[in-house]
Chains A and B, each alone.
Chain A
Amino acid sequence: MGTRHDSAGRPLPLVNATTKPHFDAARERRFAMQRCPRDGFFFYPRSRCPKCLGDDWAWETASGRGAVYSFTVDRAGHVPALAKLVPYAIAIVELDEGPRCTARLVDCDVEKVHVGMRLEAAYEDVEGGTVVHFRPA
């Protein structure tokens, strides 16, 4: 069982028991992240804190805000179904809480994306789930 694609061929998030709370929150338009009582927030969702390997973390609603750590404008469309969307920007987002996550940028002029640009989460419901994008804040 690998990546599923929607009817347009776009890859959908692979959701399992560990990552499900993040995607369930996304459906409610919240950016949920795990927080370790010793080491703070971490991302992506894991069974244990990547710093201390403790399992006493808790899910919290984070700000869903951050800044571009780096980005690229994909002009080839490496996923065939995404080729229809080119050019599109992909960014590593440095979340205000510290961890980084990668997302596609939406509602933006791809020619104006820059490192440090402020972003906020943007949610798109797709077949059987929700994808978290980011857009200029």
Chain B
Amino acid sequence: MAKHAAAVAGLAEWKPERVWPRPMFSLEACAELAALALADAGIEKGEVDGLCIGGIYESPLFGPSAAAEYLGIRANFAETVDLGGATSAGMLWRAAAAIEVGACETVLVLCPSVPPPRPDGATRGKMDFPIYLGGDAWGSPQGAFEIPAGLVAATPSFAMVAQRYMARYGLREETLAKIAADARYNAQFNPDAIFYGKPITIDDVMKSRRVADPLKLLEIVMPCFGGGALVVTTPERAARARHRPVFVAGFGEHLTHKSISYAPDLLDNPIRVAAERAFRMAGVSHAAIDVVQPYDCFTITVLVTLENAGFCGKGEGERFVSEHSLRWDGDFPLNTHGGQLGAGQAGTAGGLSHLTEAVRQLQGRATGRQLAKCDLAYANGTGGMMAEQVALILQGA
């Protein structure tokens, strides 16, 4: 029996941008996103008694209390989540679980991914990409081995997942390219997508520059800025809100490694266990899912996720992707907003975009790309090197 103990009542999402036009501090972004999401839900700010946040730039320590203070919230539950790309998915189930056990009643999930104003007064925020992703901290095992070997950023790690897949099961690079092309197709129906107005073909992907074999430039997300938020509340309050309540019907989380070097098995990914737990909790079948919203930092992420989450068998991803259309108007709608491959990867808000789109589809407001029937959604977050995995089943009331 699916859990119906907490529901998403409202959301906010900023259009991702490569260069952010109005830098702001994390707390300022949290306040604006909170106001937008609460207005969307039709829930009063005074009802909020819970907070889930990622990092707060201007409060590296004590982030939750900094957010509670700045937003004027008397929180009965306040938490920082640190799960990379799975952060937002991890926030949503934590919020739902906190509500279910009675720790709190209404939680704001806040994902500001914007650059702070610079002390010199510069107004345009540019991306400063931390290539070592923190692995260069003193004492870090990665600093001893991976970084000197040149295994940095994320692309080479995911490329090694793809290479292992090719050796184990066989995989045509065109199949991975199709995932990117279908994502870009969906982005043409999302005016907020970073690649809106820029469709690509499988051939374009195949001809794009090789970055780390077998991954090519157009199979890799574009990092950008953005922000998003969710309002999660009790079923009773959600029923009074402006939109169809979206229940967190099932969830699962599983982690085994940080560096790809020490993943127990590159092809038996932690998302398998996370998804099994989510489906079991929700008590629904894969066939009942109307829209699939997997994290898609790279094309290979989608292929391995589809298999491990049980939408097809191990080693069947090639055939599955070849035989199905992943377009929003196809027979297997996947990442109908364009995914991050099509819409852009705005930090933790990029991961959140898979959830906000699932909520939009379930609430019937995915304008221009709305599915005719949408009652059940699968979404997941992938953090680090296919390491931090959170699966969610969302269900319309």
Q: Which residues does A use to contact B, with CB under 8 Å?
A: 1-3, 10-16, 19, 44-45, 69-79, 82, 88, 90, 92, 100-104, 114-116, 131, 133
Contact = CB atoms under 8 A, between A and B. Distances in A.
Contact of B140 (A14, A82, A114): A14
B7 interface: no
Interface residues of B, number: 39
A131 B148 contact: yes
A75 B212 contact: yes
Contacts of B260: 92, 102
Interface in B82-128: none
Nearest to B132: A3
A69 B211 CA distance: 20
Interface of B: 131-132, 136-141, 143-153, 155-156, 159-161, 163-164, 167-168, 209-213, 215, 259-262, 266
Given A70-B164, A71-B163, A76 B144 contact: no
A102 B145 contact: yes
Contact of B156 (A12, A14, A90): A90
Contacts of A74: 150, 156, 211-212
Given A44-B141, A92-B260, A100-B262, A70 B149 contact: no
Contacts of B155: 76, 78
B213 A14 contact: no
A69 B151 contact: no
A102 B144 contact: no
Contacts of A116: 167
Given A2-B137, A10-B148, A72-B163, 9 more contacts: A2-B136, A3-B132, A11-B147, A44-B262, A69-B266, A73-B210, A92-B266, A102-B149, A102-B260
A43 to B, nearest CB: 8
Contacts of B136: 2-3, 11, 14
A13 B259 contact: no
A74 B138 CA distance: 26
Nearest to B163: A70
30 contacts: A2-B138, A3-B132, A3-B136, A3-B147, A10-B148, A11-B147, A14-B138, A14-B147, A15-B144, A16-B138, A44-B141, A70-B266, A72-B160, A73-B212, A73-B213, A74-B150, A74-B156, A74-B211, A75-B210, A75-B212, A78-B150, A78-B156, A90-B149, A90-B160, A92-B260, A100-B262, A102-B151, A102-B260, A104-B150, A131-B148
